[in-house]
Amino acid sequence: MTICDAHLHLTRKDLPKLSAWHAAGLAGATSATARHTEWAEALELTQLTPSWVHYAMGIHPWYLEEAPETALEELDTFLASHPALAVGEIGLDFADGRDDRERQLHWFEAQLALASKHHRPAVLHLRRAWDCAPVILAKYPEVTTVLHSFNGSREIARQLLEALPNCYFSFGFALANPAATRQAGAAQVIPTERLLTDSDYPFQHLPDASASVPTDLAAVIARLAELRHDSPTLLAGQIAENWQRVFDEL
Ligand SMILES: [Zn+2]
Question: Residue ranges per domain, the chain?
Answer: 3-248
What is the DSSP code (8-state) at residue 247? I
Distance 33 CA to ligand 1 centre (A): 8
Give the pLDDT of residue 139: 96
Distance 53 CA to ligand 1 centre (A): 16
Distance 108 CA to ligand 1 centre (A): 15
Output the CA angle 57-63-69, nearest 5 degrees: 75
Give the pLDDT of residue 241: 98
Distance 213 CA to ligand 1 centre (A): 14
Q: Which amino acid is at 67?
A: A
Distance 112 CA to ligand 1 centre (A): 17
Give the distance from CA 237 to its chain's centroid: 18
Residues sharing a CB contact under 8 Å with residue 11, sequence separation 6 or more, in sequence order: 38, 41, 45
Distance 200 CA to ligand 1 centre (A): 5
Cα distance between residue 176 and residue 171, in whole Å: 9
Distance 191 CA to ligand 1 centre (A): 24
Distance 21 CA to ligand 1 centre (A): 19
Give the pLDDT of residue 69: 87
Distance 148 CA to ligand 1 centre (A): 8
Cis before 162 (ω within 30): no
Give the pLDDT of residue 132: 93
Cα distance between residue 143 and residue 114, in whole Å: 10
Read off the pTM: 0.96
pLDDT in tens, the chain (250 residues): 999 999 999 999 999 999 999 999 999 999 999 999 999 999 999 999 999 999 999 999 999 999 998 999 999 999 999 999 999 999 999 999 898 999 999 999 999 999 999 999 999 999 999 999 999 999 999 999 999 999 999 999 999 999 999 999 999 999 999 999 999 999 999 999 999 999 999 999 999 999 999 999 999 999 999 999 999 999 999 999 999 999 987 7
Give the pLDDT of residue 248: 85
Give the pLDDT of residue 78: 97
Distance 89 CA to ligand 1 centre (A): 6
Distance 169 CA to ligand 1 centre (A): 14
Q: Which CATH superfamily is domain 3-248 in?
A: Metal-dependent hydrolases (3.20.20.140)
Distance 32 CA to ligand 1 centre (A): 7
